[in-house]
Amino acid sequence: MIDFPDTHAEAEPDRPAYVMADSGTVVTYRELVDDSRSISRLLWSRGLRHGDCVAVLMENNADFPKVAWAAQRSGLRYVTLSTRLLPDEIAYILGDSGARALVTTDRYQAAAADAVAQVSAVEHRFTTGVAAGGFENLTEAAASVPENTVVDEREGVDLLYSSGTTGRPKGVKAALPLDPLGTPPGVAGLLHSHWGIDRDSVYLSPAPLYHAAPLRFNMAVHRFGGTAIVMERFDAERALELVERFRVTHTQMVPTMFVRMLKLTEQQRNAYDLSSLQVVIHAAAPCPEDTKRAMIEWLGPIVHEYYSSTENSLFTALDSAEWLAHPGSVGKSILGTAHILDEAGRELPPGETGTIWSDGGLLFEYLNDPEKTAGSRNELGWTTVGDLGYLDPDGFLYLSDRRADLILSGGVNIYPREAEDVLVVHPKVADAAVFGIPHDELGEVVHAVVQPVAGIEPDDALADELLAYCRERLAAYKCPRRIDFETELPRHATGKLYKRLLRDRYSQPVSK
């Protein structure tokens, strides 16, 4: 057996697998293995078999990895649900995924109960809290299953849903080969070979575990015997304090976390010893160039970036030196080969923007959506998730935007990311969203919604200041015509904006 928590539990049972940052709870490899085996026996005793689905609706807590590893070691598919979802949205995913079991916590038990009332397929309902309303206590239920219950242990796989930024989320169904326990998935190998994650790694995990990257990174750390420091919630200065206290070697963040750390005072940022950091990885959303450059200047050439998706059909990466030589790039292909095609399917030369396609990446399908699955492939067997970008002459990939976010104004293509990157680095801006709104003459015009920094008054004077700031740095047609303000933008914890929710407020065309 290789690359699995069981081997580390046998060799070093008291070695910490992960530590919960706020509570201080330490879970050793022996505890992780014993408890995940116990939960695995419970699910097996209730009739779940290879390929069946279990859903997890939990905040970041000490039980989350145990449940994920129970499903992983049982040959199951497991869907981790965003804790921001409403009961109707939870019910949709439960029904679409065919989940036969659901595990939740006290905090989300009411929402889970409302959701499962709408879905007949969920036969088994567990909570880490008080058993009530048809939910069994997970620990008590697992303890009631005989330890000699035999589970046919095979490698399972996650069944994760797109974040739904442009419509109903879709389940990304990867292959389930049911490999022998200990056979690592491809992403684990990438983390080891590309960024050096191994037994000596201390990995700071600042994002919700229900998202693809944090879930997969943490489980990869456990395969190699490292220790994860899991933040219950992200706080910029707290993250720096944890790096110093635990001598963190690796972390993965999203650009909004970078922005928040850079907006700490210089005194706050310099108050902590960050010398243990070897690799700081970012992904999940575009990073403004000024933000990336500032992070490299602060931390040194340890900032790495990758581009991928839940579908994992393409994976590009680059280090700090490569980025400085190719600013704005998200790297060269290391899984799959990137191609840029126009709308007719013709390959475009370097520098021209089109849809990003991948040749030779991992295959996937969208659960219960053959039409969307077919639309993600071309006649050559290449796949796409709909992102737009271009390649430079050296083969480095640059992202422009998602096709769904492209603004077509008076026949001109406008990529809203350009204005967002400008606005978000303004000292009075905490967050910004730029998108197209209907216009009776031009079709669409550029609009922005901004979240000001705490203590900044969102008034007409601020709007004028931000518009002028934007026009000093971008061509006028790329800049918003107007800026509105919100106390908080509808942003996914991974950094992705739910622009659909903002666009829906501006459904009536404007005429000027």
Q: How far apart are CA 222 and CA 182, in angstroms?
A: 11
Strand partners, 203: 228, 250
SS3 397: strand
The Cα–Cα gap between 213 and 190 comes to 13
Average pLDDT (466-482) is: 92
d(CA 106, CA 71): 21
Kindly list the domain boundaries of the chain, sorted by start residue. 29-174, 406-506
Helices (H), 270-416: 289-299, 320-325, 370-375
Between 145-149, 177-181, 384-388, 503-507, the lowest mean confidence (pLDDT) is in 503-507
Using the structure block, give the residue that is written with the tokens 């026009």: 471
Q: Which residues contact 265 (CB under 8 A, 6 or more apart)?
A: none
With H, G, I as helix, E, B as strand and everything else as coil, classify residue 217.
helix
Secondary structure (DSSP) of 213-239: HHHHHHHHHHHHT-EEEE-SS--HHHH
* 496 contact partners, CB below 8 Å, separation of at least 6: 163, 165, 284, 285
Cα 191 from Cα 213, distance rounded (Å): 11
Residue 511 scores a pLDDT above 70: no
Query: pLDDT of 106-134, one tens digit each?
Result: 999 999 999 999 998 899 999 999 999 99
In the structure, what pLDDT confidence band is assigned to residue 408 with cuts at 50, 70 and 90?
A: confident
Return the H-helix or E-strand segment holding 89: helix 87-97
Query: How many residues does the structure list for the chain?
Result: 512
Mean pLDDT of 149-170: 84
State the pLDDT confidence band at 1, using cuts at 50, 70 and 90: very low
Express each pLDDT in 182-233 by its tens digit: 998 878 888 899 999 999 999 999 999 998 999 999 999 999 999 999 999 9
pLDDT at residue 55 tops 90: yes
Superfamily of segment(s) 29-174: ANL, N-terminal domain (3.40.50.12780)
Within a 13 Å sphere around the CA of 61, how many CA atoms are in the beta-carbon half?
Answer: 16
Other CB atoms closer than 10 Å to residue 324's CB: what's the count? Answer: 14
What is the pLDDT averaged over residues 168-186? 90
Strands 160-161 and 101-104: unpaired
SS3 13: coil
The reported pLDDT for the residue numbered 380 is 94
Res 509: pLDDT: 67
Q: What is the pLDDT of residue 490?
A: 84
Choose the weakest-confidence range: 1-10, 50-59, 207-216.
1-10
Q: What is the pTM of this model?
A: 0.84
Dump pLDDT digits (tens) for 359-374. Answer: 988 889 999 999 999 9
- Neighbour count for residue 504 (Cβ, 10 Å): 9
Tens of pLDDT, residues 81-101: 989 888 988 999 999 999 999
Which pLDDT band holds residue 460 (cuts at 50, 70, 90)? very high
Q: CB-based burial of residue 226 (10 Å sphere; 0-12 exposed, 13-18 middle, 19+ buried)?
A: buried
Residue 165 has pLDDT above 60, yes or no: no
What would the pLDDT profile of 253-295 be if each residue is shown by its tens digit?
988 899 889 989 999 999 999 999 999 999 877 788 889 999 9
Q: Which residues contact 146 (CB under 8 A, 6 or more apart)?
A: 41
What is the structure's pLDDT at 85? 86
Question: What is the distance between the alpha carbons of residues 498 and 74, in angstroms, rounded to a whole number?
Answer: 34
d(CA 72, CA 279): 27
pLDDT above 70 as % of the chain:
96
Distance CA(355)–CA(386), nearest Å, equals: 6
Give SS3 for 331: strand
Q: Hey, what CATH class is 406-506 in? A: alpha beta
Q: Is 270 helix (H, G, I), strand (E, B) or coil?
A: coil
Has residue 497 got a pLDDT over 90? no
Counting Cα atoms < 13 Å in the Cβ hemisphere of 272 gives 23
